[in-house]
Amino acid sequence: MIRTQGLTKRYGSVLAVDGVDLDVREGDVYGFLGANGSGKTTTVRMLLGLVLATTGAIELFDEAMPRAAARVLPRVGTLVEGPAAYGHLSARTNLELIDASATSAGRAGRRTRKARIDGVLEQVGLAGIGKRPVKAFSLGMRQRLGLAAALLRRPDLLILDEPTNGLDPQGIHEMRDLLLALNAAGTTVFLSSHLLSEVEQMCTRVGVLDRGRLVVQDSLHALRAPTGRTEVRTPDPTAALALLDGRVEERDGERLLVRAPDPAELNALLVRGGVPVSGLALERRSLEEVILERTSAGADRVDGPHQVVGP
C-alpha cells in the first residue's frame, strides 16, 4: 500500500529524513513512532506529495508518487497537522463544502450527500453537534471533524499524523475504537504517533524513526517476542516457590515470574505438585524495551507506555 525506497529529505544542513524504506501492507494498522523532530511529519508530507523528497522513491497503491497523485490521492483519507476548516461555519456545512469539491454533482444527489455526511458525523461522534460554529470547537472536536472529512471519500487508506493530539483520554479511546472498526471493515491505517501506548494498543505493524532513520520495522507480534519466562498467579506462592526451586526469578505477592518458556508445561507441573494456579501467561517484551534497545540517545524522548496526553 505504501512503499518507499531510500526516502530522504534534506533542509539545508538538516537531514530530516534519511534513507527510509517503509513497507505498509494492505490491512495493516501501521504505527509510525518517533520522538518530536525525528522526521515523522516530513515523511507523511512526502507520502502525500505535500513536500518533495530530496531523493528516494515513493509508491502508494503500487503507483509512483507524486506522479500518480491525481489517481491515487482520491483513495487516501488524510489528517495532517490539524484539520483545516472554516471557523464561522458548522461542522456539517464544512463537510458539505468538502464533499461538494470532492464529488461531482451528477454522482451524488442531495439525499445521498446528506446521508453520507450524517454517516461520517455519526462515525466520529459529532452527530449531535448541531449548528455550533467550528471556531467554538475544542481541539479534539476539530480533530474528529478532520477525520470525518477524511472519511467522506470512503478511503482505502488512511494516513493520519498524530490523530489523537489534543484528545482527552475518552477521546483517545473513541478514536482508537473508530480506527480499529474502520480497519476491520477493510481500511488500511497508517498513523504517526509519539506515544508508545497508543501504538502498542492498536497497531499490527510498527516503524520507528530515530533522528530521520527507520531503525525498527516489523509486526508488533514479532517485536514483542517471548522472554522465555511465564507469569504465574497463585494463592499459594510458598508452595510454588518450593516446587519450582531456583526457577522463580521474581516474586511480587501472589505473582511469580518463572523461567519457563512453555506455560502449558509449567501448568501441568504445578497441578501435579498440588499448587493452585489462578493465572498463567507467557511474558512478552514490551515495545518500549525493544525500542530502547534499538535506538540511540534520542529514543528516551519517545514517551513511555503509561503516559497519557492531556486535552
- Rule CB under 6 A: which residues touch ligand ATP? 11, 14, 16, 34, 36-42, 194
158's CB contacts (< 8 A; 6+ apart) are 76, 77, 78, 79, 150, 179, 182, 187, 188, 189, 190, 191
Q: Nearest distance from residue 41's CB to ligand ATP, in Å?
A: 3
Q: Nearest distance from residue 9's CB to ligand ATP, in Å?
A: 8
Cell of 1: 500500500
Residue 34 vs 125, nearer CB to ligand ATP: 34
**Degrees (nearest 5) of the Cα angle 140, 144, 149?**
145
Residue 42 vs 217, nearer CB to ligand ATP: 42
Residue 38 vs 295, nearer CB to ligand ATP: 38
Q: Nearest distance from residue 83's CB to ligand ATP, in Å?
A: 16
Residue 20 vs 232, nearer CB to ligand ATP: 20
Q: Nearest distance from residue 10's CB to ligand ATP, in Å?
A: 9
Please say whether the beta carbons of 224 and 50 come within 8 A.
Answer: no
Closest of 84, 86, 12, 4 to residue 49, by C-alpha: 4
Would you list the DSSP string of 45-112? HHHTTSS--SEEEEEETTEEETTTHHHHGGGEEEE-SS----TTSBHHHHHHHHHHHHS-TTTS-HHH
Residue 126 vs 208, nearer CB to ligand ATP: 208
Residue 66 vs 237, nearer CB to ligand ATP: 66
Q: Nearest distance from residue 202's CB to ligand ATP, in Å?
A: 19
How far is Cα 97 from Cα 289, in angstroms, rounded to an integer?
Answer: 46
Per-residue CA distances from 245 to 239, 249, 257, 258 (Å): 10, 10, 13, 10
Q: Nearest distance from residue 84's CB to ligand ATP, in Å?
A: 17
